[in-house]
């Protein structure tokens, strides 16, 4: 891998994870991976967990994060960090854009 990687803005490259929920890997390195998520109003991201720590930032929209059984209302400018192997999901209240960083790199998102 090069000493650096640059991601350029583009409207392509999104992968549908579930109906109304898309993700795009923006950039990754040796230890972290950054993704953008498009989340459709009324959709639900089912409860799940993975070994990766994830830190996120809500760019636009409104959603409810459910982390380890606790509900957190998220608005633009809000952020979160979810440790690895903690169950989490989301209820999307408005069309939303979120950016999340995963560590270690999610091989399934590369």
Secondary structure of 13-80 as H, E, C letters: CCEEEECCEEEEEEEECCCCEEEEEEECCCCEEEEECCCCEEEEEEEEEEEEEEECCEEEEECCCCEE
CB 63 within 8 A of CB 95: no
CA distance 21 to 107: 19
Give the pLDDT of residue 5.
Answer: 86
Give the pLDDT of residue 3.
Answer: 84
At residue 109, the 3 state secondary structure works out as helix
Architecture of domain 17-105: Sandwich (2.60)
Distances (CA, A) of 5 to 9, 56, 57, 60, 66: 13, 20, 21, 26, 33
Which pLDDT tens digit goes with each residue over 53-110? 999 999 999 999 999 999 999 999 999 999 999 999 999 999 999 999 999 999 999 9
Which pLDDT tens digit goes with each residue over 18-59? 999 999 999 999 999 999 999 999 999 999 999 999 999 999
pTM: 0.93
Q: CA neighbours within 13 Å on the CB side: how many for 43? A: 16
């Amino acid at each position: 891998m090069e000493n650096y990687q640059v991601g350029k803005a583009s409207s392509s490259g999104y992968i549908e994870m579930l109906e109304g929920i898309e993700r795009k890997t923006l950039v990754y390195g040796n230890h972290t991976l950054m993704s953008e998520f498009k989340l459709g109003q009324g959709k639900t991201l089912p409860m799940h967990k993975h070994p990766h720590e994830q830190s996120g930032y809500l760019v636009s929209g409104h959603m409810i994060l459910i982390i380890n059984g606790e509900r957190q209302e998220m608005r633009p400018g809000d952020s979160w960090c979810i440790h690895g192997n903690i169950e989490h999901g989301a209820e999307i209240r408005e069309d939303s854009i979120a950016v999340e960083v995963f560590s270690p790199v999610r091989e399934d998102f590369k």
